[in-house]
Amino acid sequence: MRDRFRRRRPPLLHIATDEGTGPVVILVHGIASSSVTFRELVPLLTPRHRVIAVDILGFGESPAPEGCEYRLEDHVEALAATIRSLRLREPFVLVGHSLGSLIVARLAASQLTRFDRRTRISRVVLVGPPVYLSPSEIGDRWVRARVNVYLRVYAFLRENKDRTITNAAIISRMLPKGIFEITERNWTPFVKSLEHCIESQTLVSDIAILRVPVDVVYGSLDAFIQSGSLTVIERMRHVSMHRVEANDHLIRPRLARELLAVIETATGVDDRPVDPEGPRAPASAVAR
């Protein structure tokens, strides 16, 4: 069944947002979520950017193909096909949150983008990337022990479907709809993406071979970022780190403003005036 899926043309993802004018920014959310992840960021960007937010494979309103294993390659191929369908003429900034960080880093490192004018990436922004090296690759025994705890928790979630769905429903009621949802409908995409993408990842090696600048933005209270896990990324010359105090894993207003500053600097629009008579928001809407 998996081979049959791989022979098919990658499905196009649901484009939840495509608004604004200016340099293009593409937003890719994480696991058990949807494009609603960026609800705080989109209004800040649209006055000076064309903002495109997609639902990743198996989540939100995007398709969940029968037989898909939801490996990183499956997510990347669907995202690449969707971006190609937009026929963009200029390079764009690619932003990924959580699992989306793994997807966009792999896409940027892939030959799918290097030789296609429709997928030219100018910068990669990783938000709350869940960096988990294989325990065998971690020298610090305390870091290794903490990573093992995370991996055991993820295995527990996958192996206890009813309990995971029940607890997720309780959490989701405290958040805006679409921010965090694990249901019968997306259970297969959830468990397979968790196992094949997050637990078995290549994020560090993908970042290492990127030929474009990389920004890593994360909250100081992010429970999914294990202490010490970002050290290897911090040492890379093309990577800039942005720590946002008093912010957890979600893109809340404070983190959204930091992302705005990072993206505006990357696209060179931070000094460009906003036309008050045009369809864009007033300059106060993008004040930092």
Domain boundaries, given as residue ranges, for the chain: 2-132+202-286
Map residue 154 onto helix, strand or coil.
helix
- Mean pLDDT for the stretch of residues 66-73: 96
Q: Which of 42-56, 116-130, 213-227 has the highest mean pLDDT?
A: 42-56
CATH homologous superfamily of 2-132+202-286 equals Alpha/Beta hydrolase fold, catalytic domain (3.40.50.1820)
pLDDT, tens only, 74-118: 999 999 999 999 999 999 999 999 999 999 999 999 876 766 777
How high is the mean pLDDT of the chain? 88
Give the pLDDT band of residue 152 (cuts 50, 70, 90): confident
Q: Is residue 68 pLDDT above 80, yes or no?
A: yes
Give the pLDDT band of residue 139 (cuts 50, 70, 90): low
Q: Which residues contact 37 (CB under 8 A, 6 or more apart)?
A: 27, 29, 30, 97, 100, 178, 179, 250, 251
Q: Look at residue 278 in the predicted model and tell me its pLDDT.
A: 38
Q: Look at residue 136 in the predicted model and tell me its pLDDT.
A: 59
Map residue 61 onto helix, strand or coil.
coil
Q: Is residue 288 pLDDT above 50, yes or no?
A: no
